[in-house]
Structure 1
C-alpha cells in the first residue's frame, strides 16, 4: 500500500516524508535546545545531539499529525503528500525516534531529563485536534514546547535546575505566545467560519493584536529587568532592542507579513542572546 499520494517508489516516498519538515517552525525548538546547552558550563556534544534529535522528532510528529487532521479529518486542506497509511508510518517512526532518545537520556542523564522531554511530544501529538481548538492551548502549545526544549537542553547538560535557563524559558514562552496570536490571526475568517476558537476568534482581531503585542512587550521588559538584576548578561538588552525594532515594523503590517517578520525577528533575538550569554562582551567592564 502506497505511503505517498503523488507517486510510488523510494524517491516519491522520501519526498513525501521530507515534506513534513518545515524549517521555519522546526528551527526554533532545535535552536532552543542548543541554547539551553550553551547556558550550561560544560557541553557534552553527544547529549546535546540526543536532545536535539528528540525535539526534531517531537516537532515532526506535530507536523504530521496536524496535516493528517486538517486533510483527512477536518477536510480543511486541499492536498497532503502522505496517504493515511503514510501518516501513520511517519508518526510511528518519529515516535520511535523520540522514545529511543528518551531512553538514552534516561540512561545517560536521569529520569528528570526524561520527564522534561516527554511533555514536548505530548504537546506535539495532541496539538490537533485537541489543543488547537482552545484559545489558550492553541496559543501556548508551540511556545511551551520551545520553553521546555530550552530548559530541557540545559538540564540534560547540567543535571540540575537553575534560575537563568528558567528565566529564558519564561521569556520565550511569553514572547512566542504573542507571535502565535498574530500567526493565528491570518486565518481569522476561516477559523471563525468553522468555529475554531483561536484568540482572534474569541476576542476579535483588534483585541488579539493588542494582546499579542502586549505579550511581546512584557517579554522584552522581563529581559531588561533580568539584565538589570544581573540574572542575564547586560548585553541581553541588545536582543530586546533588536526584536523591538522588528516588532515596530511588524505592527504596521498585515497578519501574514507580520508573522514572517516576527518569526525571523525571534531568530535574531535568539542569536543575540546566544552571543550575549556565550561571549559576555561586557564582562570585562563589570
Structure 2
C-alpha cells in the first residue's frame, strides 16, 4: 500500500513526507529552543541540537496529525499528500525521533529535562481532534508549545528554571495567542459552518480582534513590567516597540495579511530579544 497519494516510489514518498514541513510555523518553536539556550548563557551545542530536533519532531507530529484528521477523518480538507498509512508511518517516525531525543536528554541532563520537553509532543499529537475544538485550547496550543520550547531550551543547558525564561515564556504565550486568534479569524465562515469553536466563532469576528490585540497589548505591557523589575534587559523595550509598530499596521489589514505581518513581526520580536539578552547595547550605555 503506497504512502503517498500522488504517486509511488521513493521520490513521491519523500515529497509527501517533506510536504508536512511548514517553515513559517516550524521556525518559531526551533528558534524559541535556541533562544532558551542563549538565555542560559553557556550553550552546549549537543544539548541544544538534541532539544531543537525534539521540537522539530513535535511540530512535525502536529502537522501530520492535523492533516490526517482534517482530510482522512473529518473530510474537511480537499486534499492531502499522504495516505492514511503514510500519515501513520510519518507519525511513528516523528514520535520515534522525539522519544530518542527525550532519552538522550534524560541521560545527559536528567528526568526533569524530559518532563519539560514531553508536553510539547502531547500538545502536538492531541491538537486534533481534541484540543482544536475548544476556543481556549485551540488558541493556546501552539503558543504554549513555544513557551515550553523556551523553558526546555533553557533547562537542558542550566538544569534549572529561573525568572528570566519564565518571564519570556509568559510573554510568548500571551503574544502568540493573540496572533493565533487573528489567524483563526481567517476561517471564521468555514469554522462556523462545521461548528468548530475558535475564538472568532465563539465571540464573533469583531470581538475576536479586540481579544487578539488585547492579548498582544498585555504581552507588550509585560515586557515593560519585566524591564522595570530588572528581569529583562532594558534593550528588550526595543523588541516591544518593533512589534507594536507591526501590530499597528496589521490592525488595519484584513485577516490573511494581518496574520502574515504579525507572524513576521514575531520573528523580529524574537530577534531583538536575542540581541537584548546577548548584548543589551542600551543597558551598556546607561
The equivalent of 2:275 in structure 1 is 275
Distance in structure 2 (CA, Å) of the matches to 1:211 and 1:135: 12
- 1:179, distance to aligned residue in structure 2 (A): 0.3
- 2:240 equivalent to 1:240: yes
Hey, what does 1:22 align to over in structure 2? Answer: 22
Give the aligned CA root-mean-square deviation in angstroms. 0.6
In the aligned structure 2, how far is the partner of 1:12 from the partner of 1:284?
Answer: 54
Give the drift of 1:282: 2.7
Q: SS of 2:93's equivalent? A: helix
Distance in 1 separating the partners of 2:51 and 2:219: 26
Distance in 2 (CA, whole Å) between partners of 1:136 and 1:215 is 13
Aligned to 1:66: 66
Distance in structure 1 (CA, Å) of the matches to 2:41 and 2:133? 41
Q: Distance in 1 between matches of 2:120 and 2:241?
A: 30
The answer for the alignment partner of 1:203 in structure 2 is 203
* Equivalent residue number for residue 114 of structure 2: 114
2:244 aligned with 1:254: no
Runs of 4+ in 1 over 6 A off after TM superposition: none
Structure 1 SS opposite 2:281: coil
Which residue of 2 is the match for residue 178 of structure 1? 178
Partner of 1:230: 230
Show structure 2 runs of 5+ residues with no match: none
How far does the alpha carbon of each residue in 1:175-210 deviate from its partner, in whole angstroms, 9 at most, with x for none? 000000000000000000010000000000011000
In the aligned structure 2, how far is the partner of 1:44 from the partner of 1:283?
A: 26
1:212 matched residue in structure 2? 212
The residue correspondences of 1:118-197 to structure 2 (distance < 5 A) are: 118-197=118-197
Aligned-residue offset at 1:284: 2.7
TM-score, reference length from structure 1: 0.99
Deviation per CA, 1:105-150: give whole Å up to 9, x if none. Answer: 0000010000000000000000000000000000000000000000
How far has the Cα of 1:261 moved from its partner?
0.4
Distance in 2 separating the partners of 1:86 and 1:12: 11
Q: How many residues are matched?
A: 286
Q: TM-score, normalised by structure 2?
A: 0.99
